[in-house]
């Protein structure tokens, strides 16, 4: 935060006393964090940007794009497997951000979590349309999800992301036995049901379900120190 | 499943990996089980972290411009803002609710008033058109008869002028009278139409004339018109008279 504010101050100093538009200040802040390697919500920057976007300021969308286009595009690319489709989903997601900015509530969850949840739903929906499979997440459902996912007590997960390097979550996932990681990834990034995963891998259904559950348990344990609690049963 | 905990399915549910029927069953259980809802919330937190795990790639630089141009275009398409109307409404609503309510109510009342007046006017027009249609239907019916004829009523000596024509089918009981150039009368006077059979005049009603002294009257007799020998128009005191006192137009049928 201190470093980010410092960058903003320097830009002002270089340009002299003229009034800087807010978007330039934010953009400068964002560049600094981007170089650090993480997209993090610093003291309500996201909330301020989303409020300005709700008032119709496109500069705020530009700033949000700077902050989040990388994780959004990367998630879409992981789900869809090609850049063209991922670009389309990224465009769709930021259009939804603009549309739903007036209804976004920071009290129900952080912006980053809301944004990536929406990206996941839109990307999975796109995959299912492309495969012409029966959909359990329809376009409307994805739209609905984009508005309501923040209700899912996502604050813990988002707070985790602010203190936790994404690399550590990746490491936890990749530390799983390959079969467990594969089953979880086919479900989350592939949008497949456990039946479809079993059919795809040629494994018994019970085996697939057990792999997913064991994998999730291990992830839970690996990330327990970062705010995700263990089994409460 | 409604009564059994769904621990084994919670992670699959959070990952979206259940079949639709399984998902429905879990939904039913979750409606009634706080313990499993808490488990699900934790599972979803874990699943949300997966969104951050893909290798990170920068999108093509040109995509930023496409995104911003697209949204700008959408804004222009619908004035300043192409978001759904309800969202625009919600955004600008703060502090305006009472005034909006009064304004909307006033606008609705004005619209209803205009629509109501228009409805009354339309009903009058419909009634007028219905009468005209009946008159025209009568003319057509009379003209279809091979015996139909037109009787011109001649002005009587000393009469103030004016003309009238009676279209009739002698075998029928209805006829159509059209007057022209009859002078408008004072309020205490009226024109009265007569059919005369065996020297006995029978009143067919009173009437006033409009612009250019024109009146159109459907004549309805109680017996075939061929049983009448003459038709006449007289000027009478308002309300009419039992016998004609001042005949101004007359002719044989």
Say yes or no: A187 and A134 in one domain: no
Q: How far is CA B7 from the centre of its chain?
A: 62
Let me know if residue A90 belongs to a domain: yes
Query: Average pLDDT of A62-88?
Result: 94
Say yes or no: A42 and A140 in one domain: yes
* Residue B21 at interface with chain A, using a CB cutoff of 8 Å: no
Interface of B with A in 199-228 (CB under 8 A): none
Domain range for A205 is 164-225
Say yes or no: A220 and A143 in one domain: no
Say yes or no: A147 and A168 in one domain: no
- Domain residue spans of chain B: 7-50, 58-94, 109-144, 149-252
Let me know if residue A68 belongs to a domain: yes
Between residues A8 and A185, the one the model is more confident about: A185
Dihedral of the alpha carbons of A186, A189, A190, A194, in degrees to the nearest 10: 40
Tell if the CB–CB gap between B57 and A193 is shorter than 8 Å. Answer: no
Say yes or no: A138 and A221 in one domain: no
Give pLDDT, residue A132.
55
Angle, alpha carbons A58-A62-A67 (nearest 5°)? 140
Let me know if residue A141 belongs to a domain: yes
In chain B, which stretches have pLDDT less than 50? 95
Say yes or no: A136 and A195 in one domain: no
Give pLDDT, residue A112.
86
How many angstroms separate the CA atoms of B244 and B9, rounded? 103
Tell if the CB–CB gap between B8 and A213 is shorter than 8 Å. Answer: yes
Total domains, chain A: 2
Say yes or no: A174 and A221 in one domain: yes
Band of pLDDT at residue A107, cut at 50, 70 and 90:
confident
* pTM of full prediction above 0.80: no
Residue range A135-190, pLDDT digits in tens: 444 444 444 444 444 344 344 444 445 445 577 788 889 999 999 999 999 999 99
* Residue A105 at interface with chain B, using a CB cutoff of 8 Å: no
Q: What's the CATH number where A191 sits?
A: 1.10.10.10
* Residue A221 at interface with chain B, using a CB cutoff of 8 Å: no
Among the candidates A112, A128, A163, a domain finishes at: A163
* DSSP character at residue B59: P
What is the DSSP pairing of strand B163-168 with strand B174-180? Answer: antiparallel
| B38, B74, B83 ranked by CB distance to A232: nearest | B38
Say yes or no: A114 and A183 in one domain: no
- Residue A211 CA: distances (Å) to CA of A62, B8, B11: 42, 12, 11
Dihedral of the alpha carbons of A205, A211, A216, A221, in degrees to the nearest 10: 150
Let me know if residue A232 belongs to a domain: no
Q: Name the closest residue on chain B to residue A66, using Cα atoms.
A: B64
- Tell me which H or E stretch contains A222: helix A205-222
Band of pLDDT at residue A5, cut at 50, 70 and 90:
very low
Among the candidates A146, A163, A180, a domain finishes at: A163
Give pLDDT, residue B51.
92
Q: Which residues of A touch B67 (CB under 8 A)?
A: 61, 65, 90-91, 94-95
Let me know if residue A230 belongs to a domain: no
Interface of A with B in 46-85 (CB under 8 A): 54-56, 58, 61-62, 65, 69-75, 77-78, 83
| B11, B15, B16 ranked by CB distance to A137: nearest | B16
Q: What's the CATH number where A158 sits?
A: 1.10.1740.10
* Residue B76 at interface with chain A, using a CB cutoff of 8 Å: no
Give pLDDT, residue B239.
86
Three-class secondary structure of residue B204 per DSSP: strand
Q: Quick one: which of A29, A174, A60, A232 has its CA closest to B43? A: A232
The count of residues in chain A is 233
CB A82 within 8 A of CB A76: no
Tell if the CB–CB gap between A90 and B67 is shorter than 8 Å. Answer: yes
Say yes or no: A141 and A202 in one domain: no
CATH number of B149-252: 2.60.40
Shortest Cα distance, chain B CAs vs residue A10, angstroms: 26
- Tell me which H or E stretch contains B38: helix B34-50
- Compute and round to an integer the Cα radius of gyration of chain B: 42
Between residues A35 and A50, the one the model is more confident about: A50
Residue range B149-167, pLDDT digits in tens: 888 887 877 667 788 889 9
Tell if the CB–CB gap between B54 and A78 is shorter than 8 Å. Answer: yes
Say yes or no: A148 and A181 in one domain: no
- For residue A31, give both structure tokens: 């560049």
* Residue A213 at interface with chain B, using a CB cutoff of 8 Å: yes
Q: Which residues of A touch B92 (CB under 8 A)?
A: none
Which of A153, A224, A226, A230 to mutate to test binding with chain B, by most B CBs within 10 Å of its CB? A153
Let me know if residue A168 belongs to a domain: yes
Interface of A with B in 11-40 (CB under 8 A): none
Let me know if residue A233 belongs to a domain: no
Tell if the CB–CB gap between A160 and B49 is shorter than 8 Å. Answer: yes
Say yes or no: A128 and A194 in one domain: no
Give pLDDT, residue B97.
53
Residue range A30-47, pLDDT digits in tens: 333 333 334 555 557 888
Burial A119-131, CB ≥16 within 10 A → b, else e:
bbbbbbbbbbeee
Among the candidates A141, A163, A185, a domain finishes at: A163
Between residues A109 and A154, the one the model is more confident about: A109
* Residue A219 at interface with chain B, using a CB cutoff of 8 Å: yes
How many angstroms separate the CA atoms of B46 and A108, rounded? 17
- Compute and round to an integer the Cα radius of gyration of chain A: 20
Say yes or no: A151 and A178 in one domain: no
């Amino acid at each position: 935060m201190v470093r980010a504010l410092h960058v903003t101050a320097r830009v002002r100093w270089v340009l002299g006393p003229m009034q800087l538009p807010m978007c330039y200040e934010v953009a400068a802040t964002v560049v600094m964090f981007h170089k650090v390697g993480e997209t993090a919500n610093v003291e309500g920057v996201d909330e301020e940007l989303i409020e300005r976007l709700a008032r119709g300021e496109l500069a705020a969308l530009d700033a949000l794009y700077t902050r989040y286009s990388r994780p959004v595009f990367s998630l879409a690319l992981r789900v869809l497997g090609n850049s063209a489709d991922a670009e389309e989903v990224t465009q769709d997601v930021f259009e939804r951000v603009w549309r739903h900015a007036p209804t976004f509530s920071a009290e129900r969850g952080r912006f980053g979590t809301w944004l990536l949840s929406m990206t996941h739903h839109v990307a999975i929906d796109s995959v299912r349309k492309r495969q012409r499979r029966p959909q359990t997440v329809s376009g409307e459902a994805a739209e609905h999800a984009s508005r309501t996912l923040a209700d899912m007590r996502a604050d813990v997960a988002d707070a985790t992301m602010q203190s936790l390097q994404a690399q550590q979550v990746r490491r936890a996932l990749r530390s799983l036995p390959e079969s467990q990681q594969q089953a979880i990834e086919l479900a989350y990034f592939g949008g497949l049901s456990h039946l479809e995963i079993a059919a795809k891998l040629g494994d018994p259904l019970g085996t697939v379900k057990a792999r997913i559950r064991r994998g999730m348990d291990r992830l839970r344990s690996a990330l327990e120190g970062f705010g995700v609690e263990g089994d409460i049963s | 499943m409604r009564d059994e905990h769904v621990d084994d399915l919670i992670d699959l549910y959070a990952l979206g990996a259940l079949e639709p029927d399984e998902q429905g069953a879990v939904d039913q259980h979750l409606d009634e089980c706080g313990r499993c809802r808490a488990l699900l919330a934790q599972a979803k937190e874990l699943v949300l972290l997966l969104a951050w795990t893909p290798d990170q790639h920068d999108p093509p630089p040109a995509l930023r411009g496409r995104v911003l141009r697209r949204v700008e275009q959408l804004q222009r398409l619908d004035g300043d803002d192409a978001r759904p109307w309800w969202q625009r409404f919600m955004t600008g609503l703060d502090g305006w609710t009472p005034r909006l309510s009064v304004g909307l109510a006033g606008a609705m009342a004005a619209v209803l008033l205009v629509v109501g007046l228009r409805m009354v006017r339309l009903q009058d027009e419909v009634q007028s058109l219905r009468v005209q249609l009946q008159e025209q239907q009568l003319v057509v019916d009379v003209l279809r008869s091979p015996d139909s004829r037109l009787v011109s009523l001649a002005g009587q000596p000393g009469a103030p002028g004016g003309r009238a024509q009676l279209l009739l089918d002698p075998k029928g009981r209805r006829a159509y009278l059209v007057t022209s150039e009859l002078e408008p009368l004072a309020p205490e006077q009226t024109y009265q139409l007569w059919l005369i059979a065996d020297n006995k005049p029978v009143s067919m009603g009173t009437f006033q004339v409009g612009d250019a002294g024109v009146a159109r009257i459907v004549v309805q007799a109680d017996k075939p018109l061929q049983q009448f020998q003459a038709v006449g128009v007289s000027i009478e005191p308002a309300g009419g008279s039992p016998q004609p006192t001042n005949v101004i137009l007359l002719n044989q049928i």
